[in-house]
Amino acid sequence: MVRFHSTLSDESVYRRFFSQMKLESRVRHERLTRVCFIDYDREMALVAEKPKTAAGPAEIVAIGRLVKSPLKNEAEVAALVTDSFQRKGVGRELVSRLVRFGREEKLGMLVASVLTDNPAMKRLLEGQGFVFESGADPDILEGEMMLG
């Protein structure tokens, strides 16, 4: 995970976290413990790995996450693909697996918050069936998809 985070551009970090979260904060031990050891009743995370080769070890190249709401039967979807693997279908594959998982878990709805200038994530989620509208923040689009 530390290596994965060190490969990300500032732009990808901003699009995922909506802030310029510094590498040092992203790889802090307490944070990684929290995001790596998850409660499967509340969360699911999928990673895409580049397999190990003679030239080097396996590497995480993308992470997709589903986090259930504590109050409603819904979950928020997010994904982050490292820059050199973007636009190769990895994000779409991760998100479609998370949507399938949400259906299997009998969730009623999936939600996602996407920056208005992030056409890739908006398009990817629309392809899955998400519908977007502007929220209270003009820079953020709120999307939802009924699963039931």
How far is C-alpha 101 from the chain's CA centre? Answer: 14
Out of 79, 98, 99, 107, point to the residue binding ligand COA (CB under 6 A).
79
Q: Minimum CB separation from ligand COA for residue 129, in Å?
A: 13
Quick check: 118 binds ligand COA (CB under 6 A)? yes
Quick check: 114 binds ligand COA (CB under 6 A)? yes
Q: Which residue has the tokens 């908006």?
A: 122
CB 81 within 8 A of CB 121: no
Quick check: 145 binds ligand COA (CB under 6 A)? no
CB 9 within 8 A of CB 80: no
CB 141 within 8 A of CB 116: yes
Quick check: 123 binds ligand COA (CB under 6 A)? yes
Quick check: 96 binds ligand COA (CB under 6 A)? no
Quick check: 99 binds ligand COA (CB under 6 A)? no
Tokens standing for residue 66: 């589903």
How far is C-alpha 18 from the chain's CA centre? Answer: 12
Q: Minimum CB separation from ligand COA for residue 140, in Å?
A: 10
Name which of residues 42 to 71 contact ligand COA (CB under 6 A).
Answer: none
Of 95 and 107, the one with the shorter C-beta distance to ligand COA is 95
Distance CA 61, CA 50 (A): 6
- Residue 67, φ and ψ in degrees, nearest 5: -120, 120
In the complex, the residues that contact ligand COA under the rule CB under 6 A are: 12, 15-16, 78-81, 86-92, 112, 114, 118-121, 123-124, 127
